[in-house]
Copies of this chain bind each other. A is one copy, B any other.
Amino acid sequence: MKIGLDIMGGDYAPKATVLGAIAAHKVLSAAHRLVLIGDKPTALSLLEENNYSPDNFDFVHTTQVIGMGEHPTKAISQKPDSSIAVGFKMLKDGELDAFSSAGNTGAMLVGAVFSVKSIPGVIRPAMATTVPKLKGGLGILLDVGANADCKPDTLLQFGVLGSLYAELIYNIQSPKVALMNIGEEEEKGNLLTQATYPLMKDTKLFNFVGNIEGRDVFGSGADVIVTDGFTGNVILKLAESFYMITLKKGLKDEFFDRFNYEQYGGSPILGVNAPVVVGHGISNPEAIKNMVLLSKDMAESGLIEKMKQAFQ
């Protein structure tokens, strides 16, 4: 199995990404081959600095880098030899089984949709984030920003994608899928959630448990929380800010520790034909390592095949 990593992506690349690759290699089995995509001489010198043999990796040298602030669509088309564009080309051509990057999120989304493309039947892929649960365990929230405006059938599909992810990656049997809303009752909500509720209630594609409110995000009522990308993005960033506040104030707690994105590695893009993970821009080596491992888990779990079957 070939696991691709963009070593140019992220605020602390290529140092953090190469160190993360080393850390990932140490826990990967011989069946997994890590492919480092980016400036090869830099990668080699970083490996040498760290006394780690380059024989442990494959290398694909690229000459361009997509910056964090660049326009995604323009960058992808104008920089065909960027690490992100090359990574997606390899993923599309079957030369990689998974691809991840802590670089430009928009470029990762555009690259995924343009190269490996959406699973047939999927209207819009979504980005998911990990939600730590107060009573332990993890859930996911999607979409967190890929689709600022959503329609009811898109949200219904997010339920399918999220449910399969929770089942195959978090090993949750029959994951509880809830709709983010502003009241628990069926008739509550805005036009979008009011129209989505009946679709979810009638579906046999996942285990719908009804509406949940902002106060229930960290509760055990739902394993998968479905929302539009606008609301999901606001929730994600607000939750991050709370975590940062507890850190700054030195408020130590096991629950808040589980907000640390480093341990989750990144946000999967769900609904495309291959495992793709986008890391946080500020990823350190630990985060990069876990991003790589998540993309590997997605590849090994058969998640993409299951998703294809669900949308047949």
Q: Which residues does A use to contact B, with CB under 8 Å?
A: 134, 145, 148-149, 180, 182, 189-191, 193, 213-218, 228-231, 233-242, 244-246, 249, 251, 253, 255
Tell which of A134, A148, A240 has the most Cβ of chain B within 10 Å. Answer: A148
**A159 shortest CB reach to chain B, Å:** 18
Enumerate chain B residues within 8 angstroms of A245, measured Cβ to Cβ.
Answer: 134, 218, 255
User: Who on chain B is nearest to A182 by CB?
Assistant: B233
Picked from B238, B244, B253, the residue with its CB within 8 Å of the CB of A249 is: B253
Q: Please judge, given known A-B contacts A241-B217, A245-B218, whether A230 and B149 are in contact too, CB under 8 Å.
A: no
A-B contact pairs, 23 of them (CB 8 A): A145-B182, A149-B190, A149-B191, A180-B234, A182-B229, A182-B234, A190-B230, A193-B230, A213-B233, A213-B234, A213-B237, A214-B234, A214-B237, A215-B238, A215-B240, A217-B241, A218-B245, A230-B231, A238-B238, A238-B239, A245-B255, A249-B253, A251-B253
A90 to B217, CA, bound (A): 41
A229 to B180, CA, bound (A): 14
A130 to B230, CA, bound (A): 22
User: Who on chain B is nearest to A242 by CB?
Assistant: B242
Enumerate chain B residues within 8 angstroms of A191, measured Cβ to Cβ.
Answer: 148-149
A249 to B134, CA, bound (A): 11
**New A-B pairs, 7, CB < 8 Å, besides A149-B191, A214-B234, A245-B255:** A182-B233, A190-B230, A213-B237, A214-B235, A214-B239, A215-B238, A231-B234
User: Who on chain B is nearest to A194 by CB?
Assistant: B148
Enumerate chain B residues within 8 angstroms of A216, measured Cβ to Cβ.
Answer: 241
Enumerate chain B residues within 8 angstroms of A235, measured Cβ to Cβ.
Answer: 214, 234, 238
CB <8 Å contact, B217 and A182:
no
**A241 shortest CB reach to chain B, Å:** 4
**A308 shortest CB reach to chain B, Å:** 29
CB <8 Å contact, B214 and A238:
yes
User: Who on chain B is nearest to A234 by CB?
Assistant: B214
Enumerate chain B residues within 8 angstroms of A215, measured Cβ to Cβ.
Answer: 237-238, 240-241, 244
Enumerate chain B residues within 8 angstroms of A229, measured Cβ to Cβ.
Answer: 182, 190
**A182 shortest CB reach to chain B, Å:** 4
Enumerate chain B residues within 8 angstroms of A149, measured Cβ to Cβ.
Answer: 190-191
